[in-house]
Structure 1
Amino acid sequence: MMKFTKQNFFVLVGGIIIYVVDIGVDFWVASKYFCQGQYSWSILILCFRGISSLVTQIFSYDWFKNDWEGTDTGKLKWIFLVHLFHCGIFIRYWFALKYGCQAAFKLKSSGDASETDPSNFIKKQAIDAVTDINMLRVFKAFLETTPQLFVQIYILMQHGKTNCYQYAAIFMSLCGISFSMVDYQMSLQKSLPDKGEFHVTSKFMYLFYKLLTITSWVLSISLITLLSVRISVILLIFLWICGFTWTLKQCTTFCKSKKMEYLYRTVVGIILIFTFFNIKDRRTKVCISIYYATHTVVTLGILFVYMFWKPSIIKEIHFTIVIILTILHLVLGIIFLVVYYKHFHPTTYCRPQACLDEVDGMTGQKDRVKTSRFQNFLMP
């Protein structure tokens, strides 16, 4: 039975607060760089923010258009206007809070009632609204937050000077990546009928696996960027091409239109630069092994390049710390990865649930469309 608890509601409220604070920190950091005459860094941070916001608005509006197909077009015009001013996420938060409040505080448990029961329908609406938000937050995490983390770490290593706003930006980036990954994984477990509960231990194992491997990779890219910006750009473009090509071969069917599907595949290609996601609900043992083996080889290669190309830099204390942290995060991340998939992944301790009979008529069709979006999105 679907559940939307008071804890889920408060987590949702916390997500709104973090989202607003993150916007404030981005503009604060950008303004600080601008006032110091470091215009390129300021523009780069704002560009990440702008591109991320544009992409999320496009997907958010397209989802509204698909979900409200055949309804009042006047509402869609207002929705389009809100998204045009890059405020679509707040509309989604409003719907999530509306249904979430009803599900968490006003509804009583209905036992084994079917999905057609009004209380379960409200819970499904709340869960679906939150899942859509978390989908968009995953996009934001890898289009904006992770690149910003890379930029901030690169600036710190390049200049060796630290300021409170740089620490604030790094802290918010790490928080944004962590919460977006775990929250999406939690909502996905609630949304898909064949996925089990995401227990507390699983959450922490998943969080540390993702956060440690991503941090190690960002540190590695920052190190190679210090040696040569050109090589770093070529490497990132090559990795994106590999991710995009793999996505094409998977023949994803997430979006209804071809244009949106190619935009989706482009975004997935960017996400695959930083972390692994299975975009089809299939076994991933071979793919994930190849992915992180490649990351390990590239990371070790970058460190060897430093040892033989720039041995004098290694003697500097802050570079020594960065290299140690890179190796430590990589090793710990791989350990958490193996332990998570072997002992804590939902498929290892949950029995597959039998598929429920679909409701005949328009309601059943609408549910199939909605579920299809979740099942064809990013799977951990």
Structure 2
Amino acid sequence: MGFTKRRCITTVFGIVIYVTDVGTDLWVAVQYFEDGRVAWCTLTLLFVLCGLACAQIFSYAWFCDDGGVADSADRAVRADTADSADAVERADKADSADQLSRRSAVVLHLLQLGIFIRYYRLLRKAVRTVWVCSPSVRDDTELHRDLFAKATDLSMLRLFETFLESTPQLILQLYIILGHDHRSVIQYVCITGSFFNIAWSTVDYRRCFRRSLPDVSEMPWGLPTVVYLSYKLLTVSGRVLALSLLVVLHTYYVFALAFVWLLGVIWTYREETDFCTSKHLEKLYRAVVGVILIFTFFNIKGQNSKLQMLVYYVACATQNLLIPVMFFCLEPGAAKSDFFWPVAGVIFTSTILGLLLLCLFYKFLHRKTEAPVADEVDGLRNEGKKDLEAKRRMQAFLQH
């Protein structure tokens, strides 16, 4: 199945979720500032800026790696829209030559517009392909593969932004609500937006990633997608609530999160990931993966990960289930609080159900790869720097 009209519509939906999530977080920060809660406002903005900045850094680096950044501004070429194979071929060449000057690329990414540029270019080519072109052109495999490569780059960036911004934001907002009894409608809107962002970016990443690789079967719509989404949401929700309860117990326990992050970073160094073309960017990538591993498991090497996944989820489930017990034992008023038992119940339920759905998915619904996925691309045809780097990046990225 190629890049369809439904995929175009879901791409637009992804933009809406992205903007809504960031917008509600900024709205919450403004409310905190107006209420005189400067520390909460600062932390909220810090998480937003951290996620956005990281996504823009990687977006700019990938533009450079893929040949999308030129040394001069006179390289831009306007793609013609027509209903013929020749026109599409010219348009594809225009896409490869549709470069930004280095200065323009830096300015646009500093203005946090890098992801929007990617959305625009993806939608421009996708609409031309699935709505305008002739049926013979719409069936061009390479054309659809390029569209999914663009979509996969976006899904990678969204995944970075989600786990650097939405998941820490959830912990912060839950800490404020549970620990300080400070509640407002916009806080609940912010939390809902963060959950939607996590759900969307996780599932969209998996579908785009698997579809972009020729030796990996695509996850079908329907039951497999629903079960996968539910397993991810339940395990991440249980994890976020447990960590929030830990921080409510005492803010110093935030150092426990730092320790878990450090373990994740050490693992990435031990696995010797090779995702970035720059050593400094690779270090940033490993730091980001460490944050992701606080909340959910990803296979960072594309190899058989049953043992690592088993160890990871047993450790996380044990921590999740022990944190409410520790809270009950160390906090004298825990049993009388209006939130402890509901939160503890959700933690237990979501953790157990999430693990059951995980087992169900990988036992009955998971389409395995037809061939081992390696970190490097071997035996590629004579392809340009853009195609080589994009394929290498996709095959070296988080796989799960």
TM-score by length of 1: 0.91
Instruction: Give ranges in structure 2 of 5+ residues lacking alignment.
Output: 74-99
Q: Note the C-alpha offset of 1:53.
A: 1.2
CA separation of 1:110 and 1:201: change in aligned 2, threshold 3 A: farther
Take 2:147 and 2:281, find their aligned partners in 1: how far apart are those partners? 25
Deviation sequence 1:114-158 (CA, Å, 0-9, x none): xxxxx3333223211111111000001110000001111111111
Instruction: Give ranges in structure 1 of 5+ residues lacking alignment.
Output: 114-118
Q: Contact 1:65–1:76 at 8 Å: present in 2 too?
A: no
CA separation of 1:212 and 1:354: change in aligned 2, threshold 3 A: closer
Q: Contact 1:9–1:101 at 8 Å: present in 2 too?
A: yes
Q: Note the C-alpha offset of 1:106.
A: 2.3
One-letter amino acid matched to 1:334: L
Q: Which residue of 2 aligns with 1:41?
A: 40
Q: Contact 2:65–2:386 at 8 Å: present in 1 too?
A: no
CA separation of 1:299 and 1:357: change in aligned 2, threshold 3 A: closer
Deviation sequence 1:245-282 (CA, Å, 0-9, x none): 10001111111111111111111011111111001111
Q: Note the C-alpha offset of 1:91.
A: 0.7
CA RMSD of aligned residues (A): 2.3
CA separation of 1:317 and 1:373: change in aligned 2, threshold 3 A: same
Residue of 222, 228, 239 corresponding to 1:206: 228
Q: Which residue of 2 aligns with 1:216?
A: 238
TM-score by length of 2: 0.87
Q: Which residue of 2 aligns with 1:116?
A: none
CA separation of 1:310 and 1:177: change in aligned 2, threshold 3 A: same
Q: Contact 2:321–2:347 at 8 Å: present in 1 too?
A: no
Q: Note the C-alpha offset of 1:73.
A: 4.1
What is the number of equivalent residue pairs in this alignment?
370
Identity of aligned residues (%): 37
* Residue 237 in structure 1 maps to residue 258 in structure 2: yes
Q: Which residue of 2 aligns with 1:263?
A: 284
Select between 15-24 and 221-230 the one with higher mean Cα deviation: 15-24
Q: Note the C-alpha offset of 1:30.
A: 0.8
Deviation sequence 1:261-319 (CA, Å, 0-9, x none): 11111110111111110011111111011111111221222122123222431232321
Deviation sequence 1:71-123 (CA, Å, 0-9, x none): 5543232222211222111111111111111222123454997xxxxx33332
Q: Which residue of 2 aligns with 1:104?
A: 130
* Residue 32 in structure 1 maps to residue 31 in structure 2: yes
* Residue 76 in structure 1 maps to residue 101 in structure 2: yes
CA separation of 1:352 and 1:321: change in aligned 2, threshold 3 A: same
Q: Which residue of 2 aligns with 1:59?
A: 58
Residue of 111, 134, 158 corresponding to 1:85: 111
Q: Contact 1:99–1:122 at 8 Å: present in 2 too?
A: no
Select between 189-198 and 313-322 the one with higher mean Cα deviation: 313-322
Q: Contact 1:306–1:314 at 8 Å: present in 2 too?
A: no
CA separation of 1:170 and 1:127: change in aligned 2, threshold 3 A: same
CA separation of 1:103 and 1:190: change in aligned 2, threshold 3 A: farther
